[in-house]
Amino acid sequence: MKPRETPAGPPLTPLSLAILGLLEQEPRSGYDLRKIFATTPMGYFSSSPGAIYPALRRLERARWIRGSVDRAQPLRPRQVFALTAGGGRILREALARSVTRADVAARFDELLLRFAFAGRVLGRRHTLAFLRELLARVGSHVRYLRAQVRALPESAIPYGRLALEQGLESYQATGRWLRRAIRELEEPRTGPARIRKGGSGP
Amino acid sequence: MKPRETPAGPPLTPLSLAILGLLEQEPRSGYDLRKIFATTPMGYFSSSPGAIYPALRRLERARWIRGSVDRAQPLRPRQVFALTAGGGRILREALARSVTRADVAARFDELLLRFAFAGRVLGRRHTLAFLRELLARVGSHVRYLRAQVRALPESAIPYGRLALEQGLESYQATGRWLRRAIRELEEPRTGPARIRKGGSGP
DNA sequence: AATTTCATGTAACCAGTTACATGATTCA
DNA sequence: TGAATCATGTAACTGGTTACATGAAATT
């Protein structure tokens, strides 16, 4: 038995990952996916047909998803895609992959997407492990940014420092959120801690 | 005089904008830019030669920058690029462009980049106007996210809600930062308000 | 002598963008 | 009748990624 059974396969772009995660929840058509990307906070991803339909075909060619024509509907027949067993394995692998500081700095949205899917797909235990690793990496990124701020000459014009501080404070808030999320998942049977208000009202 | 003197020109991608902003500060070579992207928090941008050198040539073709060979150095001659007058106009236009909520949701890094350059290029007054508009858009995005959280069924599994709350809290922190930045720029002659510690230490 | 750094590039590839196309059905 | 919605696609383009190439100078 050779170690790697996956013969390369198509690259797992953020869009592909989002599609796999959504199809794990339930089978959906390309149009369903477009609606989700167009009308929910997942709208971060492109909802353009020129992105989604080719992506679906790539995933189908790799046998990670399988489409079937749904003729129940009276309209033009929809093609509904479902995750295959192999696709599920790929998804779990992608969600369990370890996190680097570079991911935190440059691809945080993807990490958040992974978290959102991890609960269903990996279960509470692995999701907690993921969050703890994420917290460690966010912490080291915060320390990195703080060092960058300190390294600025006192005389420098404030714009660069302010821009750095935006990132710093945003990641600090994320650190606080991570600790809360970890606490919440550790004791699952407590009522949901509603978020305190305050922040960016007018 | 026809209204638009700019005949299309190349698209102003985030990388192009970063390059224009950096060349506005001082003339630099492609290698200088690569070093900046590779070793500073601007590392968010790609430092690959396959991105930078073609971008430089596009900008040069559009006459937004101009390169000149620097033979002072004993090494292989460097080509140093400087912003042209037309390039400066393009840069100012890009920095002054108005902000939408979609920008806040999907392209915040670019907005931050614009802020970092705006101080030098647009001056304090226009930078303040930019920050105030940004604050308004961040506020409406926070309200949007809060509505999304509220719309979730109480029974839902907590992962989706938690993921939404990450964004919410991160943007709330950005709102606080924006108010502080605005205050700081409004009264320029106060000592720099150092950031209070706390947050994501170990 | 070998490695690292300086400095600039090219070539192949490709995911996503933009814009257009199609055709049925439901609604006003 | 006409518009909007459902639903799926294609075609052209291009910026960025990855990987490779080159060659001189400084460093070890």
> Distance, in angstroms, between B96 CA and closest chain A CA?
16
Compute the mean pLDDT over every residue in chain A, rounded to the nearest whole number.
89
Q: In chain A, which residues from 81 to 120 place their CB closer than 7 Å to nucleic acid strand D?
A: none
Nucleotides of D under 7 A from a protein CB: 6-12, 14-21, 23-26
CA distance A199 to B94: 29
Beta bridge partners, A83, equal A65
Which single residue has its CA nearest the C1' atom of nucleotide D14?
A: B11
> Distance, in angstroms, between B101 CA and closest chain A CA?
12
Of B119, B112, B70, B90, residue with least CA distance to B20: B90
CA A166 to chain centroid: 22
Q: Is the predicted pLDDT of residue B3 greater than 60, yes or no?
A: no
Does the pTM surpass 0.85? The reply is yes
Contact B169 A177 (CB under 8 A): yes
* Through-space separation of residue A67 CA and nucleotide D7 C1' in angstroms: 15
Comparing CB atoms, the residue among B127, B142, B199 nearest residue A199 is: B142
Contact A172 B41 (CB under 8 A): no
CA distance B106 to A165: 20
Q: For residue B101, list chain A residues with Cβ-Cβ distance below 8 A.
A: none
Compute the mean pLDDT over every residue in chain B, rounded to the nearest whole number.
89
Any residues with CB less than 8 A from the CB of B197 and at least 6 apart, and which?
A: none
* Through-space separation of residue A51 CA and nucleotide C22 C1' in angstroms: 19
Nearest CA in chain A to B110: A163
pLDDT-derived band of residue B13, with 50, 70 and 90 as boundaries?
very high
CA distance B195 to B180: 10
Q: For residue range A75-125, what is the model confidence (pLDDT) as tens digits?
A: 567 899 999 999 999 999 999 999 999 999 999 999 999 999 999 999 999
Q: What is the nearest nucleotide to B73, using C1' and CA?
A: C6
Per-residue confidence (pLDDT) for residue B5, from 0 to 100: 39
Per-residue confidence (pLDDT) for residue A156, from 0 to 100: 77
Decide: CB of A140 under 7 A of nucleic strand D.
no
Q: For residue range A43-57, what is the model confidence (pLDDT) as tens digits?
A: 888 889 999 999 999
CA distance A174 to A168: 10
More confident residue, B2 or A109: A109
